[in-house]
Amino acid sequence: MQRPDFDSLTVLEHLPVALLITRPEDGSIVYLNARASDLLQLPRETALTLKGFDFLVDPDDRDEMVSLLESNDVVRDLTVRIRSMSGREYRANLSASLLSLGETRCSVILVGEVREGGS
């Protein structure tokens, strides 16, 4: 079976889950898809001037995520409190992986809002 020919960025853009790509050394956002832009109420132009951890309410969540990524290269379903650009706070599950895209090391982070009364 032949591999389909598609543009990876188009696929990322249309995922039904919020996705951010950051630089692990400083947390700078280098990409976010449309769902992440909506969830964080964040225009893309602004996103590229911020760090992924700017949206965490509790600084201890950042430390825990960094520690887990450094020791395991992966984080699964870490529940945190997020604050959008408008100030709305909500619970979210974060999953992240460290990977290399060419010569560049990146953190790929998925954000799923936890709905009250379930996930």
Structure tokens at 9: 């960025």
1, part of any domain: no
In eight-state DSSP terms, residue 37 is H
Note the pLDDT tens digit of each residue in 29-45: 999 999 999 999 999 88
pLDDT at position 103 is 87
118, part of any domain: no
Note the pLDDT tens digit of each residue in 70-97: 899 999 999 999 999 999 999 999 999 9
pLDDT at position 107 is 94
pLDDT at 118 over 60: no
Angle among Cα 54, 58, 60 to the nearest 5 degrees reads 105
62, part of any domain: yes
Contact between 18 and 40 under an 8 Å Cβ cutoff? The reply is: yes
Note the pLDDT tens digit of each residue in 50-69: 999 999 999 999 999 989 99
CATH number at residue 43: 3.30.450.20
54, part of any domain: yes
Query: What are the backbone dihedrals phi and psi of residue 54, each rounded to the nearest 5 degrees, phi first?
Result: -60, -20
The total number of structural domains in the chain stands at: 1
What gap in Å lies between CA 107 and CA 119, rounded to an integer? Answer: 24
pLDDT at 27 over 80: yes
95, part of any domain: yes
* Residue 52, CA distances (Å) to 29, 37, 79, 91 in order: 6, 12, 15, 16
68, burial (CB in 10 Å: exposed 0-12, middle 13-18, buried 19+): middle
Beta strands 104-113 and 18-22, pairing class? antiparallel
Which domain range does residue 69 map to?
Answer: 8-113
What mean pLDDT, rounded, does the chain reach?
A: 89
> What is the reported pTM?
0.86
What gap in Å lies between CA 32 and CA 51, rounded to an integer? Answer: 11
